[in-house]
Structure 1
Amino acid sequence: MKTAEKPVRRRRRLPRIFLNFHFWLLVLLFTGGFLLQYPQLIPFIDILDPDSFLSLTRHSFGRLIMLLPVTYAALVFGMRVGLLALLVAVAIIVPNIFIGEVTSYPDEIIEVVGIIIIGLVVNLWLESYETDKKHRQVAYLRLENAQRELQRMQQNLRFYLKQITIAQEEERRRIAQELHDETAQDLIAISRKIDGFMSLHPALASSDEAYLEDMHQHVNRTLSGVRRFSQDLRPSVLDDLGLIPAIDWLVPELAKHYKLKIGLQVNGEQRRFAPEVELVLFRIVQESLRNIGKHAMASRAVVTVDFTPEITVVTIRDNGRGFHPPDRIGDLAVSGKLGLTGMQERAQLIGARLAIKSNPGEGTTVTVEVPTTTEQPEHSY
């Protein structure tokens, strides 16, 4: 059954050759070269100069013309067909040496050998070109695959970073809630019990009263620290009221903690963002102000929020000592500035663009640009 199918397939392939435009053009080129080799077959060829074609003899010109179908066959069909075309060309040229009027056989033979050599060189060159072309295509495909794989890995990495960030914030929310609902409430209960004990025993010795008062103050300080730590982990004002009130709460807290003058400026019509966007912007402002307080040696900082119809820009600027930022923000991790690198990663998660501008002695400016597509218009301040 299989042996019977092979002749059928071959018969089906044969008509396809005759439907190929390049095949008929190749036949036309060979026909033209054949007629130039045997001009006696053309009745009106006598009107042409039989001695010179572009400073070549007619026979030499005809032989050079035979390189056209050879080159075309190699270019279109490949080296095998090109070599076959070269054999056909030689078969057309060689008989003309012996049946034509030839004055010098060595010159004619040298021309034929030259034509063969040129035909071989053309075939080899085109084959090398096609091989190089295929290699370039393979290399290009590999490069494209590598780029797609890199993009896929980057997308996966961003997805994992996003999931890690979400899990981190959820854990912060849980701990903050526990500190507020359990630890803080227990400390309040202890403080009230100390107050109640002192009220029920007004005749305590002065040393005992001083001891209880010191314990009461210590509990209150611990309670304040727990509340501050809870707010720092996840400020409830951010979830309840939004970004601007949360920054408004954050600024005096950090100004008091780091003994800085920190200003807040809000320009334009205020609007709400998606919760994850507000959280990222708040963390960037928080991390920037902390870096200023810890490392910048600044005396003043300003947080500016500009609302425009196209974008919202958050800028944190200080008058500290500054530094030489690298060309790419991602290189900050190499120099140990992991906080700035984390800010960049957070900004990318929400589709924002973060820029850092700094010079030694001129302070540092951190800018975050958020497109309007990340806004949540159904809420308003």
Structure 2
Amino acid sequence: MSGHGITDKNVSIFVERVTRAQEDERLRISRELHDTTIQSLIMVLHQLERYLSDNQELNIMHMRFIINIQDSIKTILQEVRHLSQNLRPSIIDHLGLLPAIEFLLQTLEISSSIKTILHIEGKSRPLNKDMELIVFRIIQEALSNVKRHSEANLVEVTIKFEEDIRFYIADNGKGIEDSATSMLDFMQQGKLGLAGMSERAKLLGGDMKIVSSADKGTTIEICIPEGPTPNLRTY
């Protein structure tokens, strides 16, 4: 076995461990935000409401000041709820993968000038919850890369239900220069997000391919086989 092969294997093990640690940490932070931070903000809002109710003789300046604080806390509360939702997407648990992907695309359109299109080909079928979460993370990272780096104004997500399940994320942006072909390449180029996506696909027994050229956009293809996934650990 070549030295390069050994290095690839070591990098794969490292990224797998990091990927799993990230998911565990996201779950922990999401729970803490929901159980502690969000509840504390709600309690402060209630305290301010009671204060205003019990002190109606306040002059208009002080009352407006407190109302402005309430509005700021409500904004922060919405942002924290959104952060908690992104860290651990409950929509997957409640509705499944396809509605969760639609949610990602809607969020991308709202937060950017990028138009999104979702194509479903074949008869859709559910994956188990752990697989759905990992696929969600791959697509979430891919869309984040489109938003941050591609300069695209259109992204299309295509899901093909065949013997395997294939996911395509295609944008019309500037493309990826010096497109990597292996996880080691991703790591050496500092593309940790792509390395994590590739490793997540491997956790499901699948693989990831990237086709990209300058000014012609980028297409990421993830192929996930159905059946047992021995590398998958329940998160």
TM-score interval, smaller chain = 0.7 to 0.9
Q: Does structure 2 retain, via aligned residues, the 8 Å contact 1:356–1:364? A: yes
Q: What is aligned with 1:312?
A: 165
More strand by share: 2
Partner of 1:141: none
Q: Report percent identity of matched pairs.
A: 35
Equivalent residue of 1:362, what SS? Answer: coil
Pairing partner for 1:221 from 62, 75, 79: 75
Match of 1:373, SS state, is: coil
Task: Using the TM superposition, give the Cα deviation of residue 155 of structure 1 relative to its aligned residue in structure 2, in angstroms.
Answer: 6.3
Query: How far apart are the structure 2 equivalents of 1:354 and 1:172?
Result: 23
Q: Which has the higher contact order (CA 8 A, sep 6+)?
A: 2
Q: Distance in 2 between matches of 1:199 and 1:277?
A: 50
Q: Is the CA contact (8 Å cut-off) linking 2:19 and 2:196 kept in structure 1?
A: no
Which of 176, 184, 187 aligns to 1:323? It is 176
Pair 1:293-2:147 in alignment: yes
- Counterparts of 2:125 and 2:38 in 1: how far apart (Å)? 33
**Distance in structure 2 (CA, Å) of the matches to 1:220 and 1:354:** 41
TM-score (norm 1): 0.55
**Relative to 1, partners in 2 of residues 1:322 and 1:163: Cα closer, same or farther, differing over 3 Å?**
closer
32, 38, 47: which one aligns with 1:184: 38
- The verdict on how the C-alpha distance between 1:317 and 1:326 changes in structure 2, with shifts beyond 3 A counting, is closer
How many angstroms does 1:151 deviate by?
7.7
Is 1:370 the counterpart of 2:221? The answer is: no
Distance of 2:226 and 2:141 partners within structure 1: 23
Equivalent residue runs for 1:56-205 within 5 Å = 147=1, 158=12, 161-205=15-59
CA distance in 2, matches of 1:184, 1:343: 30
With over 3 angstroms needed to count, the CA separation of the structure-2 counterparts of 1:196 and 1:265, relative to structure 1, is farther
Looking at structure 2, the residues matched to 334 and 228 of structure 1 have their Cα atoms a distance apart, in angstroms, of 33
Q: Which runs of 5+ in 1 are unaligned?
A: 1-146, 376-381
Q: Is the 8 A contact 1:325 1:358 kept in 2?
A: no
Distance verdict in 2 for CA 1:269–1:196, change over 3 Å? farther
What SS is found at the alignment partner of 2:149?
A: helix
1:357 and 2:211 aligned? yes
Determine the structure 2 residue equivalent to 1:206: 60
- Following the alignment from structure 1 to structure 2, what is the Cα–Cα distance between the partners of residues 349 and 170? 15
Q: Does 1:246 align with 2:106?
A: no
Amino acid at match of 2:146: I
Task: Name which of 260, 264, 267 aligns with 2:121.
Answer: 267
- Indicate the SS of the match to 1:208: helix
CA distance in 2, matches of 1:371, 1:258: 33
Change (3 A) 1:364 1:267: same
Structure 2 CA distance for partners of 1:260 and 1:326, relative to 1, 3 Å: closer
Q: Secondary structure at the match of 2:209?
A: strand
The 1:161–1:240 alpha-carbon spacing in structure 2 relative to 1, beyond 3 Å, is: farther
What is the total number of aligned residue pairs between the two structures? 228
Deviations 1:318-354 (A, max 9, x none): 1111133436233133233221122112212221121
Query: Partners of 1:280 and 1:269 in 2: how far apart?
Result: 21
Let me know the Cα RMSD of the aligned residues. 2.5
Task: Give per-residue Cα distances to partners, 1:112-147, cap 9 Å, x unaligned.
Answer: xxxxxxxxxxxxxxxxxxxxxxxxxxxxxxxxxxx3
CA–CA distance in structure 2, aligned partners of residues 239 and 231 of structure 1 = 12
CA deviation map 1:141-195 (0-9, x unaligned): xxxxxx3999888667655543443232122111101101211111112112222
Equivalents in 1 of 2:147, 2:3: separation in Å?
41
Q: Would you tell me which structure has more helix in proportion to its own residues?
A: 1
CA-CA distance at 1:280 after TM superposition: 2.0
Give me the TM-score of the superposition, normalised by structure 2.
Answer: 0.86
Structure 1 residues 335 and 167: alpha-carbon distance in aligned structure 2, compared to 1, 3 A threshold: closer
What residue is the counterpart of 1:378 in the other structure? none
- Select which of 188, 193, 198 maps to 1:344: 198
> 2-side partners of 1:334 and 1:271: how far apart?
37
AA partner of residue 314 (structure 1): F
Q: How does 1:21-60 map to 2 (within 5 A)?
A: none
